[in-house]
Chain A
Amino acid sequence: MAFTGTEATFSASEARDEAARLVLRLREAVHAMRRKGVVLGISGGIDSSVVAALCARAFGAGNVLGLTMHEAESSDDTRRLARLVIDHLGIATIDEPLSPLLAAAGCYERRDAAIRKVVPGYGPGWRCKLVLPSVIDTEQLRISSVIARSPEGEEIRARLPAEAYLQVVAATSFKQRTRKMLEYYHADRLNYAVAGTPNRLEYELGFFVKNGDGAADIKPIAHLYKTQVYQLAELLEIPAEIRARPPTTDTYSLPQSQEEFYFALPYAWMDACLWACDHAVPAAEVAAGLGLTPDQVERVYRDITAKRMVARYLNAPPILLQGANSP
């Protein structure tokens, strides 16, 4: 059968069956851990909204704690949409402002010091993001550049040297790791499990921080393509405004789409290409189905392979140098 680009989607009945199955599996898995409910971070995005809705069905809204953990660089949209989904589901919530913890850890200062290696004037009032060249538009290697915007609106784009780039990423990862620390604080306090919210693109292609948003006791939607997550969102009656919002990273102070930071393509195409790559569909066939060129699809396939290598490290458990009894 010819590739159509819609392979990574559910039919209506499949979506209903999947939601019901996930609710049952969630309940079984968390109770097997001897935990009474679930804690998760609520970002206002589609993934955490769907996981929260599944958890509310599995455990009852009273046994789900949604943490809002905004910081100085979070967008206003994020704050409002997180509140919207929490109110919609009726789950318990606690607001944990992140900025004091991040400032104490040196998150902002360490990151800004690295950016000053290429933008010497970078400091208070400036904003930034990391961006990648488009896989679709160019064969350029996928090397991040920083875009810095001055308080006056002047924008500077510069490639970071390796050391500075790694420091920017390491410092920024304090955000995901601090959030996870707070999730586990509340989980331990309540005897709850921590739910992670990666979808299949994020889980398989390594779009997460090791021991940050990559840490969890259970990852209920890690096998679902992003398109399928949106289908479940509709089924679970997640507010339309959240379903209509393009995915963002909400990690850097300038608005940043997931495509410009990590993924090669808008999510629906990325889903289709990941499915096609896994099913060994020839690039020319995928290109015809999606309206791309075979060269563009070949570049996406290479990008998927490269990301999988990164994800292998990110998803790997610690290595024991000698065998030990499993607990």
Chain B
Amino acid sequence: MSSTPTTTTQLREFVTANFYVPAAVVLDDIPSFLDHGILDSTGVLELVTFIEGKFGISVPDHELVPSNFDSLAALSAYVERKRV
């Protein structure tokens, strides 16, 4: 995986703080943010707004799919790909 610790760390901090992930939950181990109730539709919008602003990327509608947003690893890899 090409993602840097910095990207993953920033995403982990944002998701944990903004979506009230309980302290006992290890975000990296969650296979599906959606199935675990961590992300709802408003949460996805907030996340998109965050990554577009923070990483200077643009997220087109067709890339708003679970394979890019549904876990920390997927999200981190997606952001890294877009930053290239």
Contact = CB atoms under 8 A, between A and B. Distances in A.
Contacts of B83: none
B49 A162 contact: yes
A161 B45 CA distance: 6
A160 B34 contact: no
Contacts of B42: 162, 165-166
Nearest to B32: A302
B49 A161 contact: yes
Contacts of A145: 61
B41 A142 contact: yes
A143 B41 CA distance: 6
29 contacts: A133-B61, A139-B66, A140-B62, A140-B64, A140-B65, A141-B41, A141-B65, A141-B66, A141-B69, A142-B41, A143-B44, A143-B48, A143-B61, A143-B64, A159-B45, A159-B48, A160-B45, A161-B45, A162-B42, A162-B45, A162-B48, A162-B49, A165-B42, A166-B42, A302-B34, A305-B35, A309-B37, A309-B40, A310-B40
A165 B45 CA distance: 9
Interface string A300-327: 0010011001100000000000000000
B46 interface: yes
A165 B49 CA distance: 11
Interface string B44-82: 111011000000000001101110010000000000000
Contacts of B62: 140
A165 B4 CA distance: 32
A306 B40 contact: yes
Nearest to B60: A159
A48 interface: no
A223 B34 CA distance: 27
Interface in B10-42: 34-35, 37, 40-42
A44 to B, nearest CB: 29
Nearest to B70: A141
A168 to B, nearest CB: 12
A314 to B, nearest CB: 12
Contacts of A228: none
B64 A141 contact: yes
A140 B59 CA distance: 12
B76 to A, nearest CB: 17
